[in-house]
Amino acid sequence: MPGLGRAAWRAFWHGLRVPQLRLDLFRVAFFSVLGLESVLRMDAVPRHGASEFSVAHLAILDALPVPGRELMGVVYLLQGYLAFRAAAGAAGRGSLALLGLLYGGAYFASLLDGFQHHYLVFLVLVLCGFARWRPGEGELRREAPDDWPVASGPCWPVRLILVQVSLVYAFAAVAKLDAAWWSGATLRSLLELPEPAPAAGLLEWLGLATAARLVVAAELFLALAIQVERLRAVATLAGVALHLGLELGLGFSIGLFSYYMLGFYLLVAPEAWLRAAWRAAAPLRQKWAARPRPGLGAGASRALDAAFLAGGAALLLTLRLPFQAAVAAGALGLGALARRPAAHLAACAALALSMAASGAAVGYYESLGGILGTLGRTDEAIEAHRRLVALRSDRAADHAYLGLLLMRAEREPEALAALAEAQRLDPRDVRAFVLEARIHHEAGRGREALESAGRILEIDPEQPFAIGLRAHWSGSRR
Protein backbone atom coordinates (compact mmCIF):
# COMPACT_ATOMS: atom_id res chain seq x y z
CA MET A 1 0.00 0.00 0.00
CA PRO A 2 2.80 2.51 0.77
CA GLY A 3 4.26 1.72 -2.65
CA LEU A 4 0.88 2.40 -4.25
CA GLY A 5 0.72 5.75 -2.47
CA ARG A 6 4.20 6.70 -3.69
CA ALA A 7 3.26 5.68 -7.24
CA ALA A 8 0.09 7.81 -7.11
CA TRP A 9 2.10 10.75 -5.72
CA ARG A 10 4.66 10.45 -8.49
CA ALA A 11 1.96 10.08 -11.13
CA PHE A 12 0.26 13.22 -9.82
CA TRP A 13 3.38 15.34 -10.33
CA HIS A 14 4.97 13.68 -13.35
CA GLY A 15 2.14 11.86 -15.14
CA LEU A 16 0.35 14.90 -16.50
CA ARG A 17 0.01 14.93 -20.32
CA VAL A 18 0.12 18.41 -21.75
CA PRO A 19 -0.48 18.73 -25.51
CA GLN A 20 1.56 21.44 -27.15
CA LEU A 21 -1.61 23.19 -28.29
CA ARG A 22 -2.76 23.55 -24.67
CA LEU A 23 0.59 25.12 -23.75
CA ASP A 24 0.43 27.46 -26.73
CA LEU A 25 -3.10 28.62 -25.91
CA PHE A 26 -2.21 29.21 -22.28
CA ARG A 27 0.98 31.05 -23.27
CA VAL A 28 -0.93 33.46 -25.52
CA ALA A 29 -3.67 34.08 -22.93
CA PHE A 30 -1.50 34.43 -19.82
CA PHE A 31 1.23 36.60 -21.30
CA SER A 32 -1.25 38.81 -23.19
CA VAL A 33 -3.09 39.59 -19.95
CA LEU A 34 0.25 40.21 -18.24
CA GLY A 35 1.33 42.59 -21.01
CA LEU A 36 -1.95 44.51 -20.81
CA GLU A 37 -1.76 44.70 -17.03
CA SER A 38 1.75 46.13 -17.28
CA VAL A 39 0.44 48.89 -19.53
CA LEU A 40 -2.52 49.63 -17.27
CA ARG A 41 -0.18 50.02 -14.29
CA MET A 42 1.34 53.07 -15.99
CA ASP A 43 -1.19 55.41 -14.37
CA ALA A 44 0.23 54.43 -10.95
CA VAL A 45 3.85 55.08 -11.96
CA PRO A 46 3.90 58.80 -10.91
CA ARG A 47 3.20 57.82 -7.29
CA HIS A 48 6.56 56.05 -7.06
CA GLY A 49 9.18 58.29 -5.48
CA ALA A 50 6.79 61.27 -5.35
CA SER A 51 7.57 61.95 -1.68
CA GLU A 52 10.95 60.14 -1.54
CA PHE A 53 9.31 57.59 0.76
CA SER A 54 8.23 54.02 0.18
CA VAL A 55 7.55 50.80 2.07
CA ALA A 56 8.41 47.51 0.40
CA HIS A 57 6.49 44.24 0.65
CA LEU A 58 9.67 42.63 1.96
CA ALA A 59 11.57 44.37 4.78
CA ILE A 60 14.94 43.49 3.24
CA LEU A 61 14.10 45.71 0.24
CA ASP A 62 13.53 48.79 2.40
CA ALA A 63 17.31 49.28 2.52
CA LEU A 64 17.36 49.94 -1.23
CA PRO A 65 16.86 53.43 -2.71
CA VAL A 66 13.24 54.46 -3.27
CA PRO A 67 12.36 53.66 -6.92
CA GLY A 68 11.41 56.77 -8.88
CA ARG A 69 8.79 57.15 -11.56
CA GLU A 70 11.30 57.13 -14.45
CA LEU A 71 12.74 53.79 -13.35
CA MET A 72 9.31 52.27 -12.66
CA GLY A 73 8.01 53.53 -15.98
CA VAL A 74 10.83 51.82 -17.86
CA VAL A 75 10.31 48.65 -15.80
CA TYR A 76 6.58 48.47 -16.56
CA LEU A 77 7.03 49.14 -20.28
CA LEU A 78 9.86 46.62 -20.64
CA GLN A 79 7.77 44.18 -18.63
CA GLY A 80 4.87 44.70 -21.04
CA TYR A 81 7.16 44.33 -24.05
CA LEU A 82 8.62 41.03 -22.77
CA ALA A 83 5.16 39.70 -21.91
CA PHE A 84 3.76 40.47 -25.36
CA ARG A 85 6.90 38.98 -26.88
CA ALA A 86 6.36 35.75 -24.95
CA ALA A 87 2.72 35.72 -26.11
CA ALA A 88 3.99 36.00 -29.70
CA GLY A 89 6.03 32.81 -29.28
CA ALA A 90 9.45 34.07 -28.22
CA ALA A 91 9.39 32.58 -24.74
CA GLY A 92 13.08 31.89 -24.26
CA ARG A 93 14.34 31.10 -20.78
CA GLY A 94 16.46 34.24 -20.66
CA SER A 95 13.61 36.61 -21.51
CA LEU A 96 11.27 34.78 -19.09
CA ALA A 97 13.86 35.09 -16.32
CA LEU A 98 14.20 38.82 -17.02
CA LEU A 99 10.41 39.22 -17.10
CA GLY A 100 10.10 37.47 -13.73
CA LEU A 101 12.84 39.65 -12.26
CA LEU A 102 11.18 42.86 -13.50
CA TYR A 103 7.72 41.78 -12.37
CA GLY A 104 8.84 40.64 -8.93
CA GLY A 105 11.05 43.68 -8.46
CA ALA A 106 8.30 46.13 -9.40
CA TYR A 107 5.74 44.43 -7.17
CA PHE A 108 7.78 43.64 -4.06
CA ALA A 109 9.59 46.99 -4.09
CA SER A 110 6.57 49.01 -2.93
CA LEU A 111 3.23 48.60 -1.17
CA LEU A 112 1.83 51.12 -3.65
CA ASP A 113 1.00 47.99 -5.64
CA GLY A 114 -1.40 46.23 -3.29
CA PHE A 115 -3.09 43.67 -5.56
CA GLN A 116 -2.61 40.35 -3.77
CA HIS A 117 -3.02 38.23 -6.89
CA HIS A 118 0.32 39.57 -8.08
CA TYR A 119 1.92 37.05 -5.72
CA LEU A 120 0.21 34.33 -7.76
CA VAL A 121 1.29 35.86 -11.07
CA PHE A 122 4.90 36.08 -9.87
CA LEU A 123 4.93 32.42 -8.80
CA VAL A 124 3.40 31.37 -12.12
CA LEU A 125 6.05 33.39 -13.95
CA VAL A 126 8.78 31.54 -12.04
CA LEU A 127 7.21 28.20 -12.98
CA CYS A 128 6.86 29.30 -16.61
CA GLY A 129 10.64 29.58 -16.70
CA PHE A 130 10.86 25.79 -16.26
CA ALA A 131 8.22 24.85 -18.86
CA ARG A 132 9.17 23.67 -22.36
CA TRP A 133 7.49 26.26 -24.59
CA ARG A 134 9.40 25.48 -27.80
CA PRO A 135 10.42 21.82 -27.89
CA GLY A 136 12.37 20.62 -30.89
CA GLU A 137 10.66 18.63 -33.62
CA GLY A 138 12.29 15.44 -32.36
CA GLU A 139 10.72 15.96 -28.94
CA LEU A 140 7.16 15.95 -30.28
CA ARG A 141 4.97 13.00 -31.13
CA ARG A 142 1.56 12.66 -32.75
CA GLU A 143 -1.00 10.05 -31.79
CA ALA A 144 -2.61 10.27 -35.24
CA PRO A 145 -1.60 11.94 -38.54
CA ASP A 146 -4.12 14.76 -38.08
CA ASP A 147 -3.63 15.05 -34.33
CA TRP A 148 -1.79 17.78 -32.48
CA PRO A 149 1.77 17.21 -31.30
CA VAL A 150 2.29 16.29 -27.66
CA ALA A 151 5.42 17.55 -25.92
CA SER A 152 7.56 14.91 -24.26
CA GLY A 153 9.35 17.44 -22.03
CA PRO A 154 8.71 17.95 -18.30
CA CYS A 155 5.10 18.86 -17.40
CA TRP A 156 5.54 19.22 -13.64
CA PRO A 157 5.61 23.06 -13.94
CA VAL A 158 2.06 22.94 -15.32
CA ARG A 159 0.96 20.75 -12.41
CA LEU A 160 2.53 23.20 -9.96
CA ILE A 161 0.71 26.10 -11.66
CA LEU A 162 -2.59 24.26 -11.16
CA VAL A 163 -1.68 23.57 -7.53
CA GLN A 164 -1.05 27.29 -7.02
CA VAL A 165 -4.51 28.03 -8.44
CA SER A 166 -6.05 25.42 -6.12
CA LEU A 167 -4.35 27.06 -3.15
CA VAL A 168 -5.77 30.44 -4.16
CA TYR A 169 -9.30 29.00 -4.29
CA ALA A 170 -8.89 27.16 -0.97
CA PHE A 171 -7.47 30.20 0.81
CA ALA A 172 -10.16 32.48 -0.64
CA ALA A 173 -12.88 30.11 0.61
CA VAL A 174 -11.40 29.73 4.11
CA ALA A 175 -10.93 33.50 4.43
CA LYS A 176 -14.67 33.96 3.83
CA LEU A 177 -15.76 31.69 6.68
CA ASP A 178 -16.89 34.48 8.98
CA ALA A 179 -20.24 35.91 10.00
CA ALA A 180 -19.94 39.07 7.90
CA TRP A 181 -19.42 37.15 4.65
CA TRP A 182 -21.89 34.41 5.55
CA SER A 183 -24.67 36.97 6.09
CA GLY A 184 -24.00 38.71 2.77
CA ALA A 185 -22.93 41.98 4.45
CA THR A 186 -19.39 41.84 3.03
CA LEU A 187 -20.70 41.09 -0.46
CA ARG A 188 -23.04 44.09 -0.21
CA SER A 189 -20.12 46.28 0.83
CA LEU A 190 -17.85 45.02 -1.96
CA LEU A 191 -20.54 45.66 -4.55
CA GLU A 192 -21.20 49.11 -3.01
CA LEU A 193 -24.91 48.43 -2.60
CA PRO A 194 -26.67 50.91 -0.26
CA GLU A 195 -27.95 49.24 2.90
CA PRO A 196 -31.72 49.82 2.51
CA ALA A 197 -31.81 49.06 -1.22
CA PRO A 198 -32.37 45.46 -2.35
CA ALA A 199 -29.96 43.79 -4.75
CA ALA A 200 -30.96 43.59 -8.39
CA GLY A 201 -31.12 40.84 -11.00
CA LEU A 202 -29.72 37.45 -10.06
CA LEU A 203 -28.71 38.65 -6.59
CA GLU A 204 -32.27 39.75 -5.87
CA TRP A 205 -33.52 36.27 -6.80
CA LEU A 206 -30.86 34.42 -4.81
CA GLY A 207 -30.45 36.78 -1.92
CA LEU A 208 -27.09 38.19 -0.85
CA ALA A 209 -26.54 35.60 1.88
CA THR A 210 -27.22 32.68 -0.47
CA ALA A 211 -25.01 34.19 -3.18
CA ALA A 212 -22.16 34.66 -0.67
CA ARG A 213 -22.40 31.04 0.46
CA LEU A 214 -22.51 29.78 -3.14
CA VAL A 215 -19.27 31.64 -3.85
CA VAL A 216 -17.57 29.81 -0.95
CA ALA A 217 -18.97 26.46 -2.11
CA ALA A 218 -17.79 27.10 -5.67
CA GLU A 219 -14.27 28.01 -4.52
CA LEU A 220 -13.97 24.89 -2.36
CA PHE A 221 -15.22 22.71 -5.22
CA LEU A 222 -12.85 24.29 -7.75
CA ALA A 223 -9.85 23.92 -5.43
CA LEU A 224 -10.29 20.15 -5.71
CA ALA A 225 -11.94 19.69 -9.08
CA ILE A 226 -9.26 21.27 -11.26
CA GLN A 227 -6.85 18.56 -10.09
CA VAL A 228 -9.21 15.63 -10.87
CA GLU A 229 -9.37 14.54 -14.50
CA ARG A 230 -12.98 13.33 -14.31
CA LEU A 231 -14.22 16.60 -12.82
CA ARG A 232 -12.47 18.94 -15.23
CA ALA A 233 -15.44 19.48 -17.55
CA VAL A 234 -17.65 20.59 -14.65
CA ALA A 235 -14.78 22.56 -13.12
CA THR A 236 -14.18 24.45 -16.38
CA LEU A 237 -17.84 25.38 -16.76
CA ALA A 238 -18.19 26.34 -13.08
CA GLY A 239 -14.92 28.30 -12.96
CA VAL A 240 -15.55 30.26 -16.14
CA ALA A 241 -19.12 31.02 -15.02
CA LEU A 242 -17.88 32.15 -11.58
CA HIS A 243 -15.28 34.58 -12.90
CA LEU A 244 -17.39 35.93 -15.75
CA GLY A 245 -20.26 36.39 -13.31
CA LEU A 246 -18.10 38.29 -10.84
CA GLU A 247 -16.42 40.43 -13.50
CA LEU A 248 -19.23 41.13 -15.96
CA GLY A 249 -22.41 40.21 -14.10
CA LEU A 250 -21.68 41.84 -10.74
CA GLY A 251 -19.06 44.33 -11.89
CA PHE A 252 -16.69 43.16 -9.14
CA SER A 253 -13.12 43.30 -10.38
CA ILE A 254 -9.67 43.23 -8.79
CA GLY A 255 -7.38 44.47 -11.53
CA LEU A 256 -7.23 41.76 -14.20
CA PHE A 257 -7.47 38.89 -11.71
CA SER A 258 -10.59 37.37 -13.34
CA TYR A 259 -8.91 37.32 -16.75
CA TYR A 260 -5.82 35.59 -15.36
CA MET A 261 -8.10 32.97 -13.82
CA LEU A 262 -9.96 32.46 -17.11
CA GLY A 263 -6.59 31.90 -18.78
CA PHE A 264 -5.72 29.17 -16.28
CA TYR A 265 -8.77 27.21 -17.41
CA LEU A 266 -7.03 26.61 -20.73
CA LEU A 267 -4.87 24.23 -18.67
CA VAL A 268 -7.98 22.65 -17.14
CA ALA A 269 -10.44 22.37 -20.05
CA PRO A 270 -11.05 18.74 -21.13
CA GLU A 271 -8.70 17.55 -23.82
CA ALA A 272 -11.63 16.39 -25.94
CA TRP A 273 -12.83 20.00 -26.25
CA LEU A 274 -9.43 21.24 -27.41
CA ARG A 275 -9.05 18.25 -29.72
CA ALA A 276 -12.40 19.03 -31.37
CA ALA A 277 -11.38 22.66 -31.89
CA TRP A 278 -8.03 21.56 -33.34
CA ARG A 279 -9.68 19.27 -35.86
CA ALA A 280 -12.32 21.86 -36.76
CA ALA A 281 -9.46 24.20 -37.70
CA ALA A 282 -7.85 21.61 -40.00
CA PRO A 283 -8.87 23.37 -43.28
CA LEU A 284 -7.27 26.63 -42.13
CA ARG A 285 -4.09 24.84 -41.04
CA GLN A 286 -3.83 23.03 -44.36
CA LYS A 287 -4.34 26.25 -46.29
CA TRP A 288 -1.62 27.97 -44.24
CA ALA A 289 0.78 25.05 -44.70
CA ALA A 290 0.26 25.16 -48.48
CA ARG A 291 1.07 28.88 -48.69
CA PRO A 292 4.26 29.50 -50.72
CA ARG A 293 7.15 30.91 -48.74
CA PRO A 294 9.85 32.53 -50.86
CA GLY A 295 13.40 31.97 -49.68
CA LEU A 296 15.63 34.85 -48.67
CA GLY A 297 19.36 35.19 -48.92
CA ALA A 298 21.43 36.01 -45.85
CA GLY A 299 21.70 39.70 -46.77
CA ALA A 300 17.98 40.07 -47.46
CA SER A 301 17.16 38.27 -44.21
CA ARG A 302 19.35 40.64 -42.21
CA ALA A 303 17.75 43.62 -43.95
CA LEU A 304 14.31 42.29 -43.07
CA ASP A 305 15.39 41.80 -39.45
CA ALA A 306 16.62 45.40 -39.33
CA ALA A 307 13.35 46.67 -40.83
CA PHE A 308 11.31 44.77 -38.23
CA LEU A 309 13.45 46.10 -35.40
CA ALA A 310 13.35 49.67 -36.68
CA GLY A 311 9.58 49.45 -37.11
CA GLY A 312 9.18 48.15 -33.57
CA ALA A 313 11.30 50.96 -32.16
CA ALA A 314 9.26 53.51 -34.13
CA LEU A 315 6.07 52.09 -32.65
CA LEU A 316 7.50 52.45 -29.16
CA LEU A 317 8.37 56.08 -29.87
CA THR A 318 4.68 56.81 -30.45
CA LEU A 319 4.09 56.36 -26.71
CA ARG A 320 5.25 59.97 -26.16
CA LEU A 321 6.62 59.31 -22.70
CA PRO A 322 9.75 60.94 -21.27
CA PHE A 323 11.59 57.64 -20.92
CA GLN A 324 10.65 56.39 -24.40
CA ALA A 325 14.23 56.45 -25.68
CA ALA A 326 15.42 54.07 -22.96
CA VAL A 327 12.49 51.72 -23.55
CA ALA A 328 12.99 51.76 -27.32
CA ALA A 329 16.72 51.12 -26.96
CA GLY A 330 16.14 48.26 -24.52
CA ALA A 331 13.49 46.64 -26.72
CA LEU A 332 15.68 47.10 -29.79
CA GLY A 333 18.60 45.38 -28.09
CA LEU A 334 16.47 42.50 -26.82
CA GLY A 335 14.94 41.95 -30.24
CA ALA A 336 18.32 41.97 -31.93
CA LEU A 337 19.80 39.50 -29.44
CA ALA A 338 16.89 37.08 -29.70
CA ARG A 339 16.88 37.14 -33.51
CA ARG A 340 13.10 36.77 -33.69
CA PRO A 341 12.09 39.99 -35.43
CA ALA A 342 8.48 39.00 -36.08
CA ALA A 343 7.88 38.43 -32.36
CA HIS A 344 9.68 41.70 -31.61
CA LEU A 345 7.46 43.63 -33.99
CA ALA A 346 4.32 41.94 -32.62
CA ALA A 347 5.34 42.84 -29.06
CA CYS A 348 6.04 46.46 -29.95
CA ALA A 349 2.76 46.74 -31.85
CA ALA A 350 0.80 45.19 -28.97
CA LEU A 351 2.50 47.52 -26.51
CA ALA A 352 1.78 50.64 -28.56
CA LEU A 353 -1.81 49.63 -29.37
CA SER A 354 -2.65 48.74 -25.78
CA MET A 355 -1.18 52.05 -24.61
CA ALA A 356 -3.40 53.90 -27.06
CA ALA A 357 -6.55 51.82 -26.49
CA SER A 358 -6.34 51.90 -22.70
CA GLY A 359 -5.40 55.57 -22.47
CA ALA A 360 -2.42 54.63 -20.28
CA ALA A 361 -0.38 57.66 -21.33
CA VAL A 362 -3.36 59.89 -20.51
CA GLY A 363 -3.69 58.29 -17.08
CA TYR A 364 0.05 58.68 -16.52
CA TYR A 365 0.09 62.42 -17.17
CA GLU A 366 -3.19 63.02 -15.35
CA SER A 367 -1.81 61.34 -12.24
CA LEU A 368 1.60 62.98 -12.60
CA GLY A 369 0.15 66.48 -12.97
CA GLY A 370 -2.09 66.03 -9.94
CA ILE A 371 0.71 64.70 -7.71
CA LEU A 372 3.21 67.38 -8.72
CA GLY A 373 0.59 70.08 -8.23
CA THR A 374 -0.21 68.77 -4.74
CA LEU A 375 3.51 68.74 -3.86
CA GLY A 376 3.84 72.37 -4.96
CA ARG A 377 6.12 71.61 -7.91
CA THR A 378 4.07 73.87 -10.12
CA ASP A 379 6.35 74.24 -13.15
CA GLU A 380 6.73 70.46 -13.49
CA ALA A 381 2.98 70.02 -12.98
CA ILE A 382 2.30 72.51 -15.78
CA GLU A 383 4.56 70.60 -18.16
CA ALA A 384 2.85 67.30 -17.29
CA HIS A 385 -0.60 68.83 -17.77
CA ARG A 386 0.39 70.33 -21.12
CA ARG A 387 1.25 66.82 -22.25
CA LEU A 388 -2.11 65.65 -20.94
CA VAL A 389 -4.12 68.22 -22.92
CA ALA A 390 -2.04 67.39 -25.99
CA LEU A 391 -3.21 63.77 -25.66
CA ARG A 392 -6.76 64.55 -24.47
CA SER A 393 -7.78 67.96 -25.72
CA ASP A 394 -11.57 67.66 -25.45
CA ARG A 395 -12.06 67.79 -21.66
CA ALA A 396 -12.87 71.16 -20.13
CA ALA A 397 -11.69 70.06 -16.67
CA ASP A 398 -8.16 69.39 -17.98
CA HIS A 399 -7.85 72.88 -19.44
CA ALA A 400 -9.36 74.42 -16.29
CA TYR A 401 -6.80 72.67 -14.06
CA LEU A 402 -4.01 73.76 -16.39
CA GLY A 403 -5.35 77.31 -16.03
CA LEU A 404 -5.24 76.97 -12.23
CA LEU A 405 -1.62 75.80 -12.32
CA LEU A 406 -0.64 78.64 -14.64
CA MET A 407 -2.45 81.10 -12.35
CA ARG A 408 -0.41 79.81 -9.39
CA ALA A 409 2.74 80.33 -11.44
CA GLU A 410 1.64 83.93 -12.17
CA ARG A 411 1.56 83.29 -15.91
CA GLU A 412 -1.64 85.23 -16.46
CA PRO A 413 -1.95 85.35 -20.27
CA GLU A 414 -1.39 81.59 -20.57
CA ALA A 415 -3.82 80.92 -17.72
CA LEU A 416 -6.57 83.02 -19.35
CA ALA A 417 -6.04 81.20 -22.66
CA ALA A 418 -6.39 77.80 -20.98
CA LEU A 419 -9.52 78.93 -19.13
CA ALA A 420 -11.03 80.32 -22.34
CA GLU A 421 -10.58 76.90 -23.96
CA ALA A 422 -12.24 75.23 -20.97
CA GLN A 423 -15.18 77.64 -21.26
CA ARG A 424 -15.51 76.92 -24.97
CA LEU A 425 -15.56 73.16 -24.38
CA ASP A 426 -18.11 73.32 -21.54
CA PRO A 427 -19.96 76.66 -21.19
CA ARG A 428 -21.99 75.29 -18.25
CA ASP A 429 -19.00 74.44 -16.01
CA VAL A 430 -18.50 77.34 -13.59
CA ARG A 431 -14.96 76.35 -12.52
CA ALA A 432 -13.20 78.00 -15.44
CA PHE A 433 -15.30 81.16 -15.04
CA VAL A 434 -14.55 81.33 -11.29
CA LEU A 435 -10.81 81.05 -11.94
CA GLU A 436 -11.03 83.70 -14.65
CA ALA A 437 -12.90 86.01 -12.26
CA ARG A 438 -10.25 85.43 -9.58
CA ILE A 439 -7.47 86.43 -11.98
CA HIS A 440 -9.23 89.67 -12.94
CA HIS A 441 -10.17 90.43 -9.33
CA GLU A 442 -6.62 89.95 -8.03
CA ALA A 443 -5.28 92.08 -10.88
CA GLY A 444 -7.69 94.89 -9.97
CA ARG A 445 -9.68 94.75 -13.22
CA GLY A 446 -13.17 95.42 -11.90
CA ARG A 447 -15.04 95.55 -15.21
CA GLU A 448 -13.64 92.21 -16.39
CA ALA A 449 -14.26 90.67 -12.93
CA LEU A 450 -17.91 91.78 -13.06
CA GLU A 451 -18.33 90.31 -16.56
CA SER A 452 -16.98 86.97 -15.36
CA ALA A 453 -19.21 87.12 -12.26
CA GLY A 454 -22.22 87.77 -14.47
CA ARG A 455 -21.52 84.68 -16.57
CA ILE A 456 -21.09 82.59 -13.40
CA LEU A 457 -24.45 83.76 -12.03
CA GLU A 458 -26.16 82.91 -15.31
CA ILE A 459 -25.08 79.32 -14.75
CA ASP A 460 -25.46 79.21 -10.95
CA PRO A 461 -27.40 82.15 -9.46
CA GLU A 462 -26.38 81.17 -5.92
CA GLN A 463 -22.62 80.84 -6.51
CA PRO A 464 -21.16 82.58 -3.40
CA PHE A 465 -17.87 83.78 -4.90
CA ALA A 466 -19.62 85.47 -7.82
CA ILE A 467 -22.20 87.10 -5.50
CA GLY A 468 -19.43 88.46 -3.29
CA LEU A 469 -17.43 89.62 -6.30
CA ARG A 470 -20.40 91.50 -7.74
CA ALA A 471 -21.10 93.16 -4.40
CA HIS A 472 -17.45 94.19 -4.02
CA TRP A 473 -16.97 95.71 -7.45
CA SER A 474 -20.46 97.26 -7.68
CA GLY A 475 -19.86 98.93 -4.31
CA SER A 476 -16.44 100.21 -5.30
CA ARG A 477 -17.90 101.78 -8.43
CA ARG A 478 -20.43 103.71 -6.33
Spatial separation of the C-alpha atoms in residues 382 and 367, rounded to whole Å? 12
pLDDT higher than 70, residue 383: yes
Place 404 in a pLDDT band, splitting at 50, 70 and 90: very high
Note the pLDDT tens digit of each residue in 124-148: 999 998 887 776 544 555 555 455 5
**Residue percentage of the chain with pLDDT more than 90:** 23
Q: So what's the pLDDT on residue 1?
A: 47
What top-level class would CATH report for the domain 360-477? Answer: mainly alpha
Q: Residue 398: which pLDDT band, with cuts at 50, 70 and 90? A: very high
Please tell me what DSSP assigns to residue 461. T
Q: Is the pLDDT of residue 298 over 70?
A: no
Q: What is the DSSP string of 400-442?
A: HHHHHHHHHTT-HHHHHHHHHHHHHH-TT-HHHHHHHHHHHHH
HSE (side-chain half, CA atoms, 13 Å) at 77: 34
Distance CA 348, CA 160 (A): 31
C-alpha pair distances (Å), 433 with each of 335, 418, 420, 456, 470: 52, 11, 8, 6, 14
**Cα–Cα distance between 362 and 39 in angstroms, integer?**
12
pLDDT above 50 (res 238): yes
Q: What is the pLDDT of residue 174?
A: 92
Determine the pLDDT at residue 351.
Answer: 85
| Under 8 Å between Cβ of 49 and 69 | yes
Most confident option among 24-38, 62-76, 323-337, 365-379: 24-38
pTM, 2 dp: 0.83
Q: Which residue has the higher pLDDT, 77 or 237?
A: 237
> Burial of 105 by CB count in 10 Å (0-12 exposed, 13-18 middle, 19+ buried)?
middle
- Give the separation between CA 399 and CA 366, rounded to whole angstroms: 12
> Is 293 a residue whose pLDDT tops 70?
no
pLDDT at 338 over 70: no
Note whether 44 and 367 are within 8 A (CB). Answer: yes
Which is more confident, 166 or 90? 166
Of 147-151, 163-167, 435-439, which has the strongest mean pLDDT? 163-167
Q: Which residues of 45-59 are buried (b: 16+ CB within 10 A; e: fewer)?
A: bbbbbbeeebebbee
For the chain, the structural domain boundaries read 13-154+302-358, 167-265, 360-477
What residues contact residue 203 under an 8 Å CB cut-off, 6+ apart?
A: 191, 211, 250
Top-confidence residue, 302 or 366: 366
CA-to-CA dists, residue 103 to 77, 324, 331, angstroms: 11, 19, 16
Alpha helices in 147-297 (DSSP H): 156-175, 179-182, 185-190, 202-206, 208-225, 232-244, 257-264, 271-280, 282-289
Question: Of 151, 153, 91, 150, which is closest to residue 125 (Cα–Cα)?
Answer: 91
Rounded to whole angstroms, the Cα distance separating 232 from 226 reads: 6
CB 33 within 8 A of CB 263: yes
Whether the per-residue pLDDT at 195 is higher than 60: the answer is yes
pLDDT of residue 375: 87
Query: 96-105, 120-129, 271-280: which has the minimum mean pLDDT?
Result: 271-280
- Mean pLDDT is highest, among 41-45, 171-175, 206-210, for 171-175
* pLDDT of residue 9 exceeding 60: yes
Residue 312 has pLDDT above 90, yes or no: no
Instruction: Specify the pLDDT at position 322.
Output: 63
Taking CA 34 as the corner, what is the angle to CA 106 and CA 99, rounded to the nearest 5 degrees? 50
